[in-house]
Amino acid sequence: METTFASSHSLFLFFFFTTFISFSFATTASTTKPHRLAIKLIHRDSIFSPFSNPKATIRERAERAFQTSISRLAYLQAKTGRPSSYSFHSNDIQAGVIADNEGIQFLANFSIGTPPVQTLVTMATGSDLLWVQCLPCTKCYNQSIPIFDPSKSSTYSILSCDSPSCIILPRDKACDSSQHCNYEYRFIDNASTKGNLATDVLTFESSKGTTTIPNMVFGCGHENEGMTGRQEAGTLGLGYKETSIVYQIGSDKKFSYCIGNISDPSYAYNQLVLGSGAIIEGYSTPIEIYNGFYYLNLEGISVGNENLNITPGIFDRTDSGGGVIIDSGMTYSALQIDAYNALSVALEKLLDQILEKATAPPSEPFKLCYKGVVGRDLTGLPVVTFHFADDADMVLDEWSMFMQYNEDVFCMAVLQGDLDGLSVIGTMAQQYFNFGYDLVAKKLSFEVIDCEVLA
Ligand SMILES: *[C@@H]1O[C@H](CO)[C@@H](O)[C@H](O)[C@H]1NC(C)=O
Ligand SMILES: *[C@@H]1O[C@H](CO)[C@@H](O)[C@H](O)[C@H]1NC(C)=O
Ligand SMILES: *[C@@H]1O[C@H](CO)[C@@H](O)[C@H](O)[C@H]1NC(C)=O
Ligand SMILES: *[C@@H]1O[C@H](CO)[C@@H](O)[C@H](O)[C@H]1NC(C)=O
């Protein structure tokens, strides 16, 4: 895959790590039992984000969500199977959104080092290392906050080549002349991050207090190339590999996140919980972890009480691709083409009765678009339910299925996938849910929740 797919977008190629030790918590709060390790998640377009553009119109936001979703789908398809039929090379897609192929949707704010220095990184379920840019830079992009300087942290320590955490292939690259452990992640467009595999203290602050965790393994990237347009300090990978923070925090290997209204720029309660405090509640369905991604077993889709006529097996993952993943980096969802067609025909039948189609779809491939306003015209529309294995039903109302395109046109927020294509549960569909990942039990739990009650 890596060598045959030459394209202009980010894709992790190398994972070089195997064993990791477990770490214990040290909390500075006065409570006796450790409290939840909660991290506020900042949506990229919210007023709390340094990267938001408050002047963007509804239409500009919708186009952007759409373009970044296409790029993200192409990235995910390339990484999980065959390339997408959506073009990587369209100028439209590249203009200004290159940085988003890694799925910059939610930013996590915490600190590294002693004394703690603030960092702001992208949360990525499809990546598996925490890495940040580090001084001195052989090559760094301009980030919005000062670049981490490990020489100023008294607790920073580069892993030595013979540490248990540095069994890395190939040996010659992983180990430099001073016996320091190195990492390298190379993306599909030849962008890369390279540096030392190191440990330091991470400090998480929440309304309930401060939690510090010593000795967390992370990548200190001194050479970060080709990441045009990125502004955040790095990536917080939540994939299931030994390198991931999720793997290192306690023996529980759990995390959860709660997402509220992503169209509301002042929504302040999105949050990520790492470790044993993760909220694992509600319906439960198996997750299969493959290539670092979280696959779900989607058994059917219904609109209202009507099950769509979908051939069993079309959502199965095969060697050439397919399957259904849940992703924190894609706004829209995507469905394999037959399922997409069945869903859009069913919704079209309902919508044609109450609304007028938007004459020309505003721009291809916004396919199913109507004149109207989601919050006004779709009240009472039958819900769409994704039926996952073990009777886990994800019920989606109009806010999760449709996105306002401009003042008076809205479109279905689902992309049409390929025949053998990947399906993706995107963040529009994940709004108003808490998702709990238990990576030992290999279960995803979810329930509808108001994230504010967790704050
Ligand atoms: C990140 O957290 C720090 C400390 O809690 C705070 O001062 C800063 O404003 C936060 N940054 C963002 C972008 O929310
Ligand atoms: C980074 O910022 C500096 C100073 O503001 C500027 O001169 C330089 O061109 C910027 N580099 C990139 C790649 O944007
Ligand atoms: C990546 O680098 C290799 C070797 O330098 C080159 O052959 C290839 O065309 C590059 N790919 C892209 C997408 O720039
Ligand atoms: C989400 O936020 C948008 C923008 O503030 C608002 O118009 C909409 O009503 C909200 N949706 C829900 C379900 O609260």
Q: For residue 405, what is the domain's CATH number?
A: 2.40.70.10
Q: Structural domain tally of the chain?
A: 2
Please report whether residue 116 resides in a domain: yes
Q: What is the DSSP string of 359-381?
A: SS-SSTT--SEEES-HHHH-TTP
The mean pLDDT value for 141-145 works out to 91
Nearest CA to 342 out of 435, 428, 414 is that of 414
Beta-bridge mates of residue 300: 387
Please give the single-letter amino acid code of residue 10. Answer: S
pLDDT tier for residue 33 given thresholds of 50, 70 and 90: very low
One domain, residues 260 and 310: no
Q: What is the DSSP string of 309-326?
A: ---TTTT-EETTEE-EEE
One domain, residues 384 and 438: yes
The mean pLDDT value for 200-206 works out to 91
Q: How far apart are CA 238 and CA 288, in angstroms?
A: 15
One domain, residues 290 and 412: yes
Q: How far apart are CA 1 and CA 72, in angstroms?
A: 17
Please report whether residue 66 resides in a domain: no
Q: Give the tens place of pLDDT for each residue, 34-46.
A: 567 889 999 988 9
Whether the CB-CB separation of 326 and 425 falls below 8 Å is answered with yes
Q: What is the DSSP letter of 125?
A: T
Q: How far apart are CA 47 and CA 18, in angstroms?
A: 39
- Note the pLDDT of residue 79: 77
Nearest CA to 254 out of 271, 238, 266 is that of 238
For ligand 4, the distance from its centroid to the CA atom of residue 398, given in whole angstroms, is: 11
Q: Is 280 helix (H, G, I), strand (E, B) or coil?
A: coil
| Tokens (6 digits) for 338 | 């037959």
For residue 448 and ligand 4, the question of a CB distance below 6 A is answered with no
Domain residue limits at 418: 283-446
Whether the CB-CB separation of 264 and 275 falls below 8 Å is answered with no
- Note the pLDDT of residue 36: 78
pLDDT tier for residue 321 given thresholds of 50, 70 and 90: confident
For ligand 2, the distance from its centroid to the CA atom of residue 59, given in whole angstroms, is: 29
For ligand 2, the distance from its centroid to the CA atom of residue 142, given in whole angstroms, is: 6
Q: How far apart are CA 433 and CA 285, in angstroms?
A: 15
Confidence check: pLDDT of 11 > 80: no
- Note the pLDDT of residue 62: 85
Q: What is the DSSP letter of 134?
A: B
The mean pLDDT value for 341-352 works out to 96
For residue 399 and ligand 4, the question of a CB distance below 6 A is answered with yes
Q: How far apart are CA 219 and CA 233, in angstroms?
A: 12
Please report whether residue 340 resides in a domain: yes
Confidence check: pLDDT of 363 > 80: no
Q: Give the tens place of pLDDT for each residue, 327-338.
A: 988 899 999 999
